[in-house]
A = this chain, B = another copy of it.
Amino acid sequence: MKLMRLPFFITVALLVGSAGYAAELRLSDYIRPMVGTKGEEGNTYPGPSAPFGMIQISPDTDTTNWNTDSGYAYADPTILGFSLTHLTGTGCPDLGDFLFQPQVGTPALEAGTKDRPQEGYQSTYSHAEESAGAGYYQVLLKKSGINVELTAGERAGMFRFTFPAAADASILTDLAHLISGGRWRVAQSHVRIEDNSTITGFHLVNGWAKERYLYFAARYSRPFDHAEIFSAGKPVVYNTYRFRSHNEAAGTNLQFLASFKTGDHDIIQVKVAVSAVSAANALQNLDAEIPGWNFDLVRERTCARWDQELARIQIEGTPVQKETFYTSLYHASLAPNLYEDVNGQYRGFDSAIHQAKGFTEYSVFSLWDTFRAEHPLLSLIQEPRDADMINSLLVHYDQSVDHLLPMWELQGNETWCMIGYHAVPVIVDGYFKGVKGFNVQRAYDAIKTTALSPDYDSVAAYAKLGWVPCDQEDESVSKTLEYAYDDWCVARMAKALGKTADYETFMKRAASYTNIYDASIGWMRPKDARGNWRTPFDAHAFGGGNKLADVTEATSSQYSWFVPQDVPGLIRLMGGNDSFVAKLDSLFDANLSQVFRDEMSTNDLRGCIGEYWHGNEPSHHVIYLYSYAGQPWKTARRLHQVITTQYGNQPDSLCGNDDCGQMSAWFMFSCMGFYPVCPGSDYYVIGAPQIPHVVMHLSNGKQFTMAAKNLSDENIYVQSVRLNGRDWDSPFLPYRELKNGGSLIFTMGSNPGAWGTHPVLPQ
């Protein structure tokens, strides 16, 4: 597949080798938006977005398949049109607001089917006539011969439609279109024809986000020859009884059709913007961000923004490495999304309009995923933005009816997706990584109040018993483990703030993981309120075998490793280093149990190595645990295996949901040779670098350089390390060694060697 039509000089440059072409290519040229679009795993979208942008215009090939969560599946034969908002890598569909689709001939108002696209507005297309890059997407719609180009700024984007000659060209806007998995619905919408080349619209959606408001504005480069609104497929006509305007309509199934007569190659451009506040704000966003009609300028500005973002981590490597790495950084820089208008207004967790004061409001917090590596990455290279995100979490806390930090926030709504209270590690990690710009006392109050919630997910029972009782609460194994870690984060911050009583309370809770370890089977195991183990129980069954309910999206053999706050304690529980390593080995060497296999799709299984499942987050820190047990070479071996088999620069290169950047952030840390196994702690675990040279530009202006001498496909093991000019034998990288810049120089070799085999955790 040709992801991007490169100019000729670049194609030539590619042929002369990495040294030769580096000078010619911009960093944004390495972005491959198609990565993650093939198969049902990645759930990324190919359309353009500015870094952390509010608008993401992208083609939708499906709205009803539950697993096509970004709206685009590479294998789908048709494109329904191009909607303005998309989620990146989530495991649940939503957004896809306001579809635009150009047509020629009698305009279709129904989508039609993939099998019979001629009966609707969807069109066949070919990947050979499709291209995607930073701030740009292009496709030729086969049915109409219309070439579609998309670009996007932060809140506003632009369509460039190149039409054939047609007496009846048109552009349809469907306000009822949603990426719904067949479930979500528009509760209310309206549309207004503001003037002869401008429309605005709105819908209120009952979706994954239970009550989601979104507005849009669109300005067309040419006055409409004819403009018509449809409701449930029928023209909204002026009538003298109840509705005396053909310029606006309200309802649940509205469409707008702009019609034109076009000459061959006539270009019609449409500028679009969104707002969660009002149509007026959408118009303001549009006019502020894209005052003119220069598509290429919008694209170029967004490319320049991407150049800036990607320059935060500069690497050397092969073109494939660069494409994979920079696409990862791209994917890790799409969400959370900007969620305030140019005037600072946003729609809060209480559905009301608020003014962001002293911070920028962000939305889309996939926290169960992103606390692991995505936010730790942002705290290093995006400190001001991470502060904005923390402030966004705090206003959500203020606005939440239950005074809880968000669990999975989506456009001003709590989706209550997943488990734990992982806004806590995001805030605590930010605090310990020196992120400034949020009120520390207010943040501490929020994390403590959240962790002490009397209502949320059996936290109260957990606090009392020391574990989440499996007879009272689903997913009790995972919840116990994750609460314990989150509580350790609270304790860390309590200690730093001199709150000794809180520190002791939460440190006690942080040890709760010990309460559900069943030494007789060697795995974490659900326990009821009276202290009895769940029986029968299968540690290798998805969900634990108990109607899938005891373990979250995993087996106990995968989840039992989630004790990042006290890996030495876990090692002791599991019988010491040798036993621990043997158990880790057994995970990778296992034959996948049938009961696990039954729950996984064929695509998901691509992400498995034995029972290790890289495609889902509970496994993400597991490989690094070898290093705690004195066998860092096993970390190196498995990292190399995962990075070479589960990532790449192709559409099918992602083996699991990118989950708003978490999969990508894992890749980048791992390539750089260290990983935040325990966000909120003061250290990273040194793994094994996968690229020869990295310069990370920290937010404080310092540079941290990583170099991997002698790295090759054979030389995957760390032989020695020099950290800031000193020999460094520990597999742990203290944050204090990183934060002021410096260097981490690996010497690699083909044998495991003895480096790092005597781990001592930094104090």
Contact = CB atoms under 8 A, between A and B. Distances in A.
Contact of A190 (B211, B252, B457, B474): B211
A735 interface: no
Contacts of A278: 350-353
A351 B190 CA distance: 10
B279 A352 contact: yes
Interface in A471-514: 473-475
A276 to B, nearest CB: 12
Nearest to A240: B474
Given A350-B279, A352-B280, A401-B248, A211 B240 contact: no
Contacts of A402: 245, 247-248
Interface string A59-70: 000000000000
Number of copies of this protein chain within its complex: 2
**Residue from A192, A244, A456 having most chain B Cβ neighbours under 10 A:** A244
A202 interface: yes
A524 interface: no
Given A188-B211, A192-B401, A351 B202 contact: yes
Contacts of A238: 455
A210 interface: yes
A31 to B, nearest CB: 35
Interface in A30-47: none
A696 to B, nearest CB: 38
Contact of A210 (B194, B246, B250, B352): B250
Interface in A553-591: none
Interface string A213-244: 00000000000000000000000001011111
| Size class of the contact patch on chain A | 35 or more
A243 B279 CA distance: 30
A286 to B, nearest CB: 15
Contact of A280 (B190, B248, B350, B415): B350
A197 interface: no
Given A278-B353, A352-B280, A188 B187 contact: yes
Nearest to A354: B280
Contact of A243 (B190, B416, B473): B416
Contact of A244 (B190, B193, B243, B416): B416
A321 interface: no
A710 interface: no
A252 B185 CA distance: 13
A747 interface: no
B350 A192 contact: yes
A187 B190 contact: no
A240 B473 CA distance: 8
A204 interface: yes
Contacts of A211: 188, 190, 250
A244 B210 contact: no
A515 interface: no
A277 B202 CA distance: 17
A206 interface: yes
A188 B204 contact: yes
A548 to B, nearest CB: 12
A353 B351 contact: no
A455 B243 CA distance: 12
A350 B194 CA distance: 11
Contacts of A193: 401
Contacts of A194: 401
A425 to B, nearest CB: 19
A190 B474 CA distance: 27
Interface centre among A210, A280, A401 (most CB of B within 10 A): A401
A112 B274 CA distance: 45
Nearest to A188: B187
A243 B416 CA distance: 6
A654 to B, nearest CB: 27
B457 A244 contact: yes
A761 B210 CA distance: 65
Contact of A245 (B190, B247, B352, B401): B401
Contacts of A190: 211, 351
Contacts of A350: 192, 278-280
Contacts of A279: 350-352
Interface in A653-686: none
Contacts of A407: 244
Nearest to A193: B401
A402 B247 CA distance: 7
Given A190-B351, A277-B352, 14 more contacts: A187-B187, A190-B211, A192-B350, A192-B401, A204-B204, A206-B250, A211-B250, A240-B457, A241-B416, A244-B416, A244-B457, A278-B353, A279-B351, A280-B352
20 contacts: A187-B187, A187-B188, A187-B252, A188-B206, A188-B211, A190-B211, A190-B351, A192-B350, A192-B401, A202-B351, A204-B204, A206-B250, A240-B474, A241-B416, A245-B455, A247-B402, A248-B401, A278-B350, A278-B351, A279-B350
Q: Which 5 A-B pairs have the closest CB atoms?
A: A278-B352, A248-B401, A187-B188, A192-B401, A244-B416
